[in-house]
Amino acid sequence: MTDAPPSSFTSRLRGRLRALATYDCFPEFSKKIRRFVYHPLGVLTLAALASLLCGLFLHSQGFVLCGGVLAVVALGVIWPWLSLRGLAGSVAFDRTRASEGDTALVRLTLRNRLPWPAWGLAVRGGFDGSSNEAVAGIAVAPRRRTALCRWSFKPLCRGVYPLAAPKLTTGFPFGLWDNCRTLAVETPLVVWPRTVPVGPIPPVSGDRQVEGNASRSKVGTNGDVLGVRPYRRGDSPRRIHWSQSARHDRLIVCELQSNSRPVIQIVLDADPRVHAGTGPDSSREWAIRVVASFAKGWLEDGAQVGLAWGGRDIPPASGQAQLHKILDALAGLPDGCDKPLAEVLACPKCRGFRDGLQVIVTTDHAHAHQSCGACEAEDQRWVVLKAGAFADAVDVIDCGHCPTPWLLIESAESVPALLKGGWQEARHGS
């Protein structure tokens, strides 16, 4: 084996010396210094300091240059601050509710009380989760007038918009320093989760008897005639079938359909630990869309639908008001930590639900927190989203004792087809 050439040793030594010379011992302090030096205000401040030193040690003309630079800095900082002192604005939407992907009109009312106009204005923050991104620009706000600005806004994710207080900013005339002022919000916009059509209501063992709804194939006191039977004490005389009674020489009454409403409780596993991905395409957002689709479709079919999630619940009810209540709750669902599914199912509202069908929406990562569907009851249906399909490199542990879910969602693209009636095929094939 031959020795390494001297050139390779020299290059390695040179690389180590370069790494030692450029090693950052104080990264946080260096980050602040770089932010200051690379900013135009920092560059002008250094230029003013350099010209001041030149005036002190070289020539008095350096003071003139220093004064000019300081005048530019003062104008670039004071003018934006002064321009915003006389401005007041508010933001409103053309509607109170919308769905993901809908286009809403945003209206900004801006009043300038100063005797001079304000230029170079921008609205930042509150609409896309970023505080630095400008969502609208206003060229000028006329002096002593009220200006009205409009622009279109298309929310891509559910929520209550603005997500944060929007700010009116300006850096005019030099862009050295952006001064900001908070805008008032007149009417927020509640953005509902996107929904897709769902299939028919699954069979429910417990129905509440409610008048004035679609008839079910159960014996009751209203609806169409199902058949006849012998008279029992307490039957209404109006239900006596007189021709059949004369033929059999005893009283025969008609059995009628029961007008009943199926009762469904949807349980959402909103615990961020069992979900994967971020933003509108995360498994948590798709689970919310699945819950919203079931609630909307089954409420429109006449069912009583309730919702339960970490620490809160909406009792089962029907009608348009119940739909708005559920969708508003899903729109305002916070992104923070939530209770595990096991605790949600153990709460009195879920554990004591015995009136109908309980639909649980979670992911295949829930069993890692001892809350999988291994104890599926007769009136429980588990909707399981595969967490790995909504993010890369997600550690999902296989669970051998969990039963086959009622509905298994393996990708976002398969949601419309599966919710339209995929559980019927799954049940038929199992």
- Express each pLDDT in 161-206 by its tens digit: 999 899 999 999 888 888 999 999 998 999 999 999 998 887 765 5
Same domain, 136 and 229: no
DSSP code, position 402 = S
Pair 252, 305 in one domain: no
Last residue of a domain, one of 161, 192, 223: 192
- Asked if the structure places residue 3 within a domain, the reply is no
Is there a domain that residue 144 lies in? yes
Final residue before a domain boundary, out of 139, 163, 192: 192
What is the CATH number for 384? 3.40.50.410
What's at 206, amino acid-wise?
Answer: G
Residues 382 and 425 in one domain: yes
**Same-domain check for residues 396 and 372:** yes
171 alpha-carbon distance from chain centroid: 33
Same-domain check for residues 228 and 266: no
Q: Is residue 351 situated within a structural domain?
A: yes
Do 92 and 174 fall into the same domain?
yes
| Local structure of residue 226 (DSSP, 8 states) | E
Q: Is residue 221 located within the same domain as residue 247?
A: yes
**Three-class secondary structure of residue 399 per DSSP:** coil
Range 35-51 average pLDDT: 83
Total count of domains within the chain: 3
- For residue 393, give its domain range: 262-429
Report residue 429 as tokens: 């094939």
Torsion over CA of 321, 326, 332 and 338, rounded to 10 degrees?
150
Q: What is the mean pLDDT of residues 365-383?
A: 64
- Tokens of residue 90, six digits: 């508010």
> Under DSSP, is residue 260 helix (H, G, I), strand (E, B) or coil?
strand
Q: Are residues 388 and 287 in the same domain?
A: yes
Q: Buried (b) or exposed (e) across 102-112, using 16+ Cβ within 10 A? A: eebebebbbeb
Residues 316 and 358 in one domain: yes
Q: Are residues 305 and 269 in the same domain?
A: yes
Are 267 and 361 within 8 A, CB to CB?
A: yes
CATH of the domain at 122: 2.60.40.10
* 388 or 160, which is more confident: 160
Alpha-helical regions (H) of 22-129: 27-37, 40-57, 61-85
Let me know the angle formed at the C-alpha of 322 by 321 and 325, rounded to the nearest 5 degrees: 90
Does residue 53 lie within any of the structural domains? no
* Higher pLDDT pick, 255 / 89: 89
Is 73 part of any domain?
A: no
Cα–Cα distance, 212 to 215 (Å, whole number): 9
Rounded CA gap, 237 and 219, in Å? Answer: 17
Domain end marker among 159, 192, 225: 192
In a domain, 181, yes or no: yes
CA dihedral 202, 204, 207, 210 (to 10 degrees): 10
Q: Are residues 138 and 215 in the same domain?
A: no
Instruction: Give the residue-averaged pLDDT of 41-52.
Output: 89
Percentage, residues of the chain above pLDDT 90: 43
| pLDDT of res. 362 | 92
At 221, the amino acid letter reads T
CA distance 220 to 207: 12
In this prediction, residue 257 has a pLDDT band, given cuts at 50, 70 and 90, of low
Does residue 119 form part of some domain?
Answer: yes
| Calpha distance 392→388 (Å, rounded) | 7
Q: Would the pLDDT of 299 be above 70?
A: yes
For residues 322 and 424, membership in a common domain is answered with yes
Over the Cα atoms of the chain, what is R_g? Answer: 34
Please indicate, yes or no, if residue 218 is contained in any of the structural domains: yes
